[in-house]
């Protein structure tokens, strides 16, 4: 597809500026700064607590991709150092009981498990299988490994068979594929008939020994779960002989079922998996076994079909079956959990009033303690010496911190110090107001770069997606308010009804009311911000959002016309009925709207933006990814068609190779150049 001519010029000028030798670094935060940031993730502390391995992603702008390598930092000495190199990506570091560091790498041309001695030396291949390894885990005993690989179910135990079939499906082969059930596509991938299955194998001298045995045999589902599952979906028993894993065995109902269960099976595949949670028709996930192997902790939802239900912490005695909730009165929904080395404390990350801190929860009493301060904990790892975690904030990207059990905290990395040197990141402030039904709602404002008291600044009004999400205290790589502030815009964001971190009732309140309570909160939130902060210029404001935020932009266009000078809609829903028939995960719309579109057509029309196009008048920039199967491309095309047919100023930016997000570095730069240019055109040039 040819890009519109008006987009190509600014894009080339942007890159010309980037390539000027010796160019003086701007004093404000830009899209280039964001794209070139080093991204810290997945910290893992060694069993002795002395070393922390983690993944660091850098950007190769010429190659238009991110590059991942494994780094390590000593807890006491500091001095981070890169421990993997060479071509391809190396990531997912995991410690073995022998003190060796295992990781995934495609340096050989295929994603396989490798091993590295932290004391030095070259990495050694652990696996060299005919199929790519998607995830792995090392047994606590060090003598076994679990491997997840995509295989064809009818020859799942024969890896060579699956490898041959995948090759036969390659380029220049038969172009058609017959489907007999959903999914036909998921997130950004057309289904090819394979399933991610779990295998177990022996390790000898740090290398795979023998043929991997199929552990998840006989189950029609994926482990890890797709599209976002990882090695947290399975765990070894302490003796290394069994695995507990998460899998949704939904059969033909997979596309409208959230019923993931926990299964247990021997590592050698000698027995069929046993369902440990058959009585719960909702999601069970994140299994953990206590070090003595006697108890299992996990997260469980209670309402089938609702992917944003509260995640309850459950604990079961594996001998007696006695099960109870941990901290049942703690009205938060953990996203990640881990157990202490003595099995007495559970650590969790959960959204909480615009923050996402790390918590410690006593299993015996359910007492909850907050361990980290303001910001978002994006990953953590626990050892006897303490806990290491990655923390980011609105004014700081992720870095690693170590918290000892004596309360002492130490910063371990500062990977972006050089890039941020001399850049004045903008200040932010949280505020509260009375929203829908006079209930308390929170938002934040961010001052523009170069803020001067007495000035009046145009407003970027950013609406979060999800819709069960949050515009909280985090450093985002796709919707980072610092980039808008660096361009001279004040930022306003509201955690409207439906946002996470304010109790499950608040989160629930958006379901079947997409255009109701949230719109009231946005209207009252913007009014409250304009009243409280006299430097906000409400006459020059643009509303921007993606996914549900894009839906809300379309809804605002028809139900709050005239409120904004311009709109930006990224991957937003235009027609709820067609969305329900073309999206991948059907449970989402069926829960959020309230039933299927053929059973309750009136529910799909109640808050349907397509019904209000006649009232549209505000200029809109529409952006959509060609590989977005969550909110399919046709939703964006339909939005742009409606705008063009109505004669409304509009542009359509299409990324053929992007999914629901914009991930490629050059695409991100074009995205920012287009969005900021649209705001400039309508909020600055029109003064």
- Give strand ranges (E) for 255-302: 261-266, 274-275, 284-289, 295-300
Classify each residue of 409-437 as buried b or exposed e, where b means 16 or more C-beta atoms within 10 Å of its C-beta: eeebbebbeebbeebebbebebbebebbe
Residue 77 pLDDT > 60, yes or no? yes
Q: What is the pLDDT of residue 171?
A: 65
Q: What is the pLDDT of residue 31?
A: 97
Q: How far apart are CA 418 and CA 563, in angstroms?
A: 41
Residue 324's DSSP bridge partners are 315
Q: What is the pLDDT of residue 452?
A: 95
376 — pLDDT class (breaks 50, 70, 90): very high
CA neighbor of 585 nearest in space, from 301, 191, 256, 192? 256
Residue 8 C-alpha from the chain's centroid: 30
Q: What proportion of the chain, given as a percentage, has pLDDT over 90?
A: 91
**What is the pLDDT averaged over residues 176-197?**
95
Residue 25 pLDDT > 70, yes or no? no
Q: What is the pLDDT of residue 97?
A: 92
Q: What is the pLDDT of residue 9?
A: 38
Report angle CA 268, 273, 276 to the nearest 5 degrees.
130
Tokens at residue 336, please?
């990640």
**What is the pLDDT averaged over residues 453-459?**
97
What is the chain's length? Answer: 687
Q: What is the pLDDT of residue 20?
A: 38
- Strand (E) or helix (H) holding 332: none
| Secondary structure in 3-state letters for 10-78 | HHHHHHHHHCCCCCCCCCCCCHHHHHCCCEEEEEEECCCCCEEEEEEEEEECCCCEEEEEEEEEECCCE
Residue 18 pLDDT > 80, yes or no? no
Output the pTM of the full model.
Answer: 0.93
**Do the Cβ atoms of 14 and 487 come closer than 8 Å?**
no
Instruction: Give the helix, strand, coil percentages of the chain, each rounded to 5.
Output: 20, 35, 45
Tokens at residue 197, please?
């299955």
569 — pLDDT class (breaks 50, 70, 90): very high
Q: For 186-196, what is each residue's pLDDT tens digit?
A: 999 999 999 99
Could you list the active site residues?
547, 628, 660
Q: What is the pLDDT of residue 172?
A: 58
Q: For 489-537, what is each residue's pLDDT tens digit?
A: 999 999 999 999 999 999 999 999 999 999 999 999 999 999 999 999 9
Residue 13 pLDDT > 90, yes or no? no
Residue 300 pLDDT > 60, yes or no? yes
Residue 5 pLDDT > 60, yes or no? no
**What is the pLDDT averaged over residues 477-486?**
97
Q: How far apart are CA 559 and CA 86, in angstroms?
A: 55
How many other C-beta atoms are found inside a 10 Å radius of the C-beta of residue 307?
A: 15
624 — pLDDT class (breaks 50, 70, 90): very high
Tokens at residue 518, please?
């949230």
Q: What is the DSSP letter of 155?
A: G
- Strand (E) or helix (H) holding 123: none
Q: Which residue has the higher pLDDT, 143 or 15?
A: 143
Q: What is the pLDDT of residue 406?
A: 84
| Secondary structure in 3-state letters for 415-470 | CCHHHHCCCCCCCEEEEEEECHHHCEEEEEEECCCCCCCCCCEEEEEEECCCCCCC
407 — pLDDT class (breaks 50, 70, 90): confident
3-state secondary structure of 176: coil
Axis crossing angle, helix 5-18 with helix 665-679, rounded to the nearest 10: 110
Q: For 218-267, what is each residue's pLDDT tens digit?
A: 999 999 999 999 999 999 999 999 999 999 998 999 999 999 999 999 99
Residue 686 pLDDT > 90, yes or no? no
Q: How far apart are CA 221 and CA 257, in angstroms?
A: 12
CA distances from 17 to 23, 26, 373, 578 (A): 8, 12, 39, 43
Rounded to whole angstroms, the maximal C-alpha distance in the chain is 74
Strands 185-186 and 189-190: antiparallel
Strands 65-74 and 51-60: antiparallel
Q: For 349-358, what is each residue's pLDDT tens digit?
A: 999 999 999 9
446 CB contacts (<8 Å, ≥6 apart)?
A: 394, 426, 427, 428, 429, 481, 482, 484, 485, 490, 491
Q: How high does pLDDT run on average in the chain?
A: 94
Residue 460's DSSP bridge partners are 491, 542
Map tokens 């997945």 to a residue.
Answer: 42
Residue 16 pLDDT > 90, yes or no? no
């Amino acid at each position: 597809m040819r890009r519109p001519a008006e987009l190509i010029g600014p894009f080339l000028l942007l890159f010309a500026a980037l390539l000027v030798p010796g160019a003086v670094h701007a004093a404000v935060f830009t899209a280039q700064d964001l794209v070139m940031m080093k991204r810290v993730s997945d910290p893992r502390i060694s069993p002795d607590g002395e070393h922390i391995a983690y993944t660091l992603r850098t950007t190769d702008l010429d190659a238009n991709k991110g590059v991942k390598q494994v780094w390590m930092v000593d807890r006491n000495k500091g001095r981070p150092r890169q421990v993997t190199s060479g071509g391809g990506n190396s990531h997912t570091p995991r410690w073995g009981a022998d003190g060796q560091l295992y990781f995934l790498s495609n340096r050989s041309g295929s994603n396989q498990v490798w091993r590295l001695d932290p004391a030095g030396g070259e990495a050694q291949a652990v696996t060299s299988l005919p199929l790519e390894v998607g995830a792995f885990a090392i047994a606590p005993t060090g003598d076994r490994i679990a491997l997840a690989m995509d295989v064809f179910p009818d020859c799942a135990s024969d890896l060579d068979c699956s490898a041959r079939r995948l090759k036969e499906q390659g380029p220049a082969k038969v172009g058609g594929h017959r489907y007999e059930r959903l999914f036909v596509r998921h997130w950004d991938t057309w289904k090819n008939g394979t399933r991610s299955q779990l295998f177990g194998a022996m390790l000898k001298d740090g290398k795979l020994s023998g043929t991997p045995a199929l552990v998840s045999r006989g189950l029609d589902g994926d482990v890890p779960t797709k599209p976002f599952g990882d090695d947290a979906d399975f765990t070894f028993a302490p003796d290394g002989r069994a695995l507990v894993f998460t899998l949704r065995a939904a059969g033909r109902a997979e596309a409208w079922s959230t019923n993931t269960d926990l299964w247990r099976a021997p590592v050698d595949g000698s027995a069929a998996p046993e369902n440990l949670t058959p009585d719960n028709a909702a999601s069970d996930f994140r299994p953990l076994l206590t070090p003595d192997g006697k108890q299992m902790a996990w997260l469980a939802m209670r309402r089938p079909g609702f992917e944003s239900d509260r995640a309850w912490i459950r604990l079961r005695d594996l001998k007696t079956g006695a099960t109870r909730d941990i901290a049942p009165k703690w009205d938060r929904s953990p996203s990640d959990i881990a157990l202490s080395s003595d099995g007495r404390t559970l650590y969790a990350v959960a959204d909480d009033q615009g923050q996402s801190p790390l918590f410690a929860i006593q299993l015996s009493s359910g007492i909850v303690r907050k361990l980290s301060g303001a910001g978002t904990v994006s990953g953590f790892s626990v050892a006897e010496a303490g806990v290491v975690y990655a923390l980011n904030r609105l004014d700081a990207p992720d870095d690693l911190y170590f918290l000892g059990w004596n309360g002492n905290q130490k910063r371990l990395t500062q990977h972006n110090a050089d890039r941020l040197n001399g850049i004045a990141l903008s200040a932010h402030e949280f505020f509260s107001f009375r929203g829908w039904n006079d209930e308390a709602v929170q938002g934040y404002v961010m001052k523009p770069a170069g803020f001067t008291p007495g000035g009046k600044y145009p407003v970027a009004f950013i609406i979060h997606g999800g819709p069960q999400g949050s515009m909280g205290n985090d450093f985002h790589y796709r919707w980072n308010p610092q980039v808008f502030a660096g361009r001279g815009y004040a930022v306003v964001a509201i955690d409207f009804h439906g946002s996470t971190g304010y109790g499950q009732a608040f989160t629930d309140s958006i379901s079947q009311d997409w255009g109701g309570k949230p719109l009231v909160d946005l209207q009252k939130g913007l009014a409250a911000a304009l009243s409280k902060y006299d430097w906000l210029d409400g006459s020059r404001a643009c509303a921007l959002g993606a996914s549900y935020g894009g839906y809300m932009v379309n809804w605002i266009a028809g139900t709050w016309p005239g409120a904004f000078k311009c709109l930006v809609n990224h991957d937003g829903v235009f027609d709820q009925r067609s969305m329900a028939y073309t999206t991948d995960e059907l449970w989402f719309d069926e829960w959020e709207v309230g039933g299927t579109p053929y059973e309750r057509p009136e529910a799909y029309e109640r808050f349907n933006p397509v019904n209000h196009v006649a009232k549209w008048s505000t200029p809109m920039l529409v952006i959509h990814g060609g590989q977005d199967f969550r909110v399919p491309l046709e939703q964006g095309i339909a939005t742009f068609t409606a705008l063009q047919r109505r004669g409304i100023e509009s542009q359509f930016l299409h990324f053929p190779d992007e999914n629901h997000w914009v991930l490629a570095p050059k695409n991100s730069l074009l995205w920012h150049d287009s969005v900021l240019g649209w705001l400039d055109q309508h909020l600055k040039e029109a003064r």
